[in-house]
Structure formats: structure tokens, C-alpha cells
Amino acid sequence: MSLTPDDPTPDTPPEQVTAVAERRAAARAAKDFAASDRLRDEIADAGWVVRDGPDGWTLAPRPPYAVVASVDALPDRSAEPDTHRCTVALLVEGWPEDVRTCVEALLAHAPADVQVVLLENGSTDAGAVVHELAAHDRVSELHVERAAGWSQARQALVRADTAAVHVLMDLSTVLEGDGIGPLLDALDDPATIGAGWRGVRVQDGWTDFEDAGPGEVEALLGYLLAVRRSAALQVPLPAKARFYRNADMEWSFLLREAGLGRLVAVDVPVRQDRHRGYHDSDPAYRDKESRKTYDRFLQRFRSREELRLR
């Protein structure tokens, strides 16, 4: 299939592409996902991408970068040896200016041997900025068509990484100095498997978490969290966590339960801008998924007083 010469503009899909997109929509409705994927590839071969949304599908010109169907299609390098010291992994779900602010601060302040990987988790308006930033030799890009839940996307980034230390970082976290080096220094201690900007401890009664100061903590928050890749592969992020809230605490306790080492909070020069994942998500979805994760956390750990720090 190819574009016809009389297309009115490059942004208007030809009729035959639209017809294939309609067939794909019918295949999806019939849950014939093999046919849906085949037709999506046919559309891509014609120079277009189909994007699914709550109000139906749209067609757009194919971007100048590779887009895979889902995070399951990303490379799995779990068995490969470490190739560098640290990768900072960022999930991108829109908000292009936030992406630019966060990455530019990382490149300005993080040690020169720190790599950055951007995963556009679903087709968003930030794809072009991700691609632009990936022109830097320390930045790489990944793009997936179908957005995955927080834990699934994060674990896919761990599997694709080959750094000794994998850093989870939210786009709302902006370095104002070297906020990565001190975390790496903390991990020089073989007894430490994770280091982060903000640590918490469980309140008595296990009804909530409260902030903890620098030093060993019961859990680390995912705003900025460095963990040994070997530990993240041995103890994956909680698979059922579709939303980030409380999932970082659950993962922290899973890591500590495994007896791999301790978690420490480190005072680093960062600021937090608007947290899009919380403030700009659907409140009903956010609260439902957060409660599911916290209930799961309580069921597993509420009686585990040996995991408390006194």
C-alpha cells in the first residue's frame, strides 16, 4: 500500500488507509488481536499510525522513530552483564515541557557516565520531544503504542537496562545539583541495595506512612530511587500495581523481605514540580488502584513487625 498522488495534504490519510483502519477497529471489537496487529503493521507500512482513544481511533503520519506494540516487545537484557554504572529511567505519558525540563536538568547535573532512557508509554504529544532529546549521546528512546500499567512499564525498563544501578525517576523531580552521584555513593556500601531522595516509615497501626529523615528507612518513594539492577531483577516490582501510588512502598518491603540489603534515604539537591501522575490523573482510577495496592500491602506485611525499624 502507498500514498496516492492526489492526497490533499500529507496529514490527510488516503481512503485505502482509512479503510484498513476501519477493518482493524472491527477486528479489535471482535477481540481478534492477531488480525488487529497485522492491520496495524499494514497501516504503518503505508506511513501512518493508528491511535486508539476513548472516543475511537485516529490516524496520524508515522513518526520518525520506531514504535513497538507494547512493552512486551521491548528488549530483554536481563541475562546480560553490566555495561555501565547507572541508567536513569523515565516514564513519559505526555507533558512534553516537563520531559524537557527534567532531562535537561539531568544532563546538566548528573555525573557524565550516567545514561538516560525515556519510555513513551503509549502514543502522546511528547513523542517528538523524546525523539529530539534522544539526539544527545547520553539519552536513548523507547516508544510503545499501547500504554502499560506503572509496574509493568517500569519492570520492562529494568529488563531492557544493562547498568549496575537502575534509577526510577519521576518527571516531576528536577535536579538542582548532582542528585544522582550521592545515591550512587550510598550504593558503594555492599549492605545497601537501594537509595533514594525521600524515605518513609510505617505509622503505628500500619494505617499510613510518615516521612523519615536521611539514613536507613523502611521504604523509599519512587520520585527518585536508585536500586541495584541485580536486586530489581531478583525481586520485580509488584506485578499487580497498575498505578504508582503505594507501589513503591510495597516494592521496598518486598526488597527488604528478600533480605538483599537495606534501603537508605539521602539528602540531595532536587525540587519537585507538579506531580502529573497524581494531580492530573483520573481521581476515581487513581484512588481505586492506590487502595488496591495498599490493601495488598497490608495483607502481606501488616503482621511483619520484624521488618519495622526501631
pLDDT in tens, 251-264: 999 999 999 999 99
pLDDT of the residue at 53: 74
Q: Which residues of 227-256 are buried (b: 16+ CB within 10 A; e: fewer)?
A: bbbebbeebebbeebbbbbbbbbbbbbbbb
Q: How many domains does one find in the chain?
A: 2
168 and 93 assigned to the same domain:
yes
Query: Do the domain assignments include residue 237?
Result: yes
Q: Tell me the mean pLDDT in the region 113-121.
A: 98
Which amino acid belongs to residue 67? V
DSSP bridge pairs for 59: 50
Determine if residue 274 is left, alpha or beta; phi over 0 gives left, psi from -120 to 50 gives alpha, anything else beta. Answer: beta
The C-alpha atoms of residue 92 and residue 191 are separated, in whole angstroms, by 32
The band of 89, judged by pLDDT with boundaries at 50, 70 and 90, is: very high
150 and 248 assigned to the same domain:
yes
pLDDT at 192 over 50: yes
CATH of the domain at 88: 3.90.550.10
22 and 148 assigned to the same domain:
no
pTM assigned to the model: 0.86
Last residue of a domain, one of 61, 80, 97: 61
pLDDT at 4 over 60: no
pLDDT at 196 over 50: yes
Query: Do the domain assignments include residue 143?
Result: yes
pLDDT at 3 over 60: no
Report residue 245 as a C-alpha cell. 501510588
57 and 129 assigned to the same domain:
no
Query: Do the domain assignments include residue 2?
Result: no
89 and 212 assigned to the same domain:
yes
Q: Tell me the mean pLDDT in the region 52-73.
A: 87
Q: Which residue has the higher pLDDT, 115 or 277?
A: 115
Query: Do the domain assignments include residue 4?
Result: no
β 114-121/139-144 pair status: parallel
The band of 25, judged by pLDDT with boundaries at 50, 70 and 90, is: very high
Range of the domain at 172: 71-307
pLDDT of the residue at 43: 92
100 and 122 assigned to the same domain:
yes
Query: Do the domain assignments include residue 150?
Result: yes
Question: Rounded to whole angstroms, what are the CA distances from 133 to 118, 145, 270, 308?
Answer: 9, 19, 21, 42
Query: Do the domain assignments include residue 10?
Result: no
26 and 91 assigned to the same domain:
no
78 and 57 assigned to the same domain:
no
Burial of 42 (0-12, 13-18, 19+ CB in 10 A): middle
Query: Do the domain assignments include residue 288?
Result: yes
Last residue of a domain, one of 43, 61, 79: 61
pLDDT at 213 over 70: yes
56 and 109 assigned to the same domain:
no
152 and 249 assigned to the same domain:
yes
Last residue of a domain, one of 29, 61, 93: 61
pLDDT at 6 over 50: no
pLDDT at 7 over 70: no
What's the order of all strands across the beta sheet hosting 219-220? 209-212, 199-202, 219-220
Query: Do the domain assignments include residue 208?
Result: yes
136 and 29 assigned to the same domain:
no
The band of 10, judged by pLDDT with boundaries at 50, 70 and 90, is: low
Report residue 291 as a C-alpha cell. 487502595
List the beta strands (DSSP E) in 40-138. Answer: 48-53, 56-61, 84-92, 114-121
Contact 125, 96 (CB under 8 A): yes
DSSP H or E run through 166: strand 163-169
Mean pLDDT score of the chain = 93
57 and 119 assigned to the same domain:
no
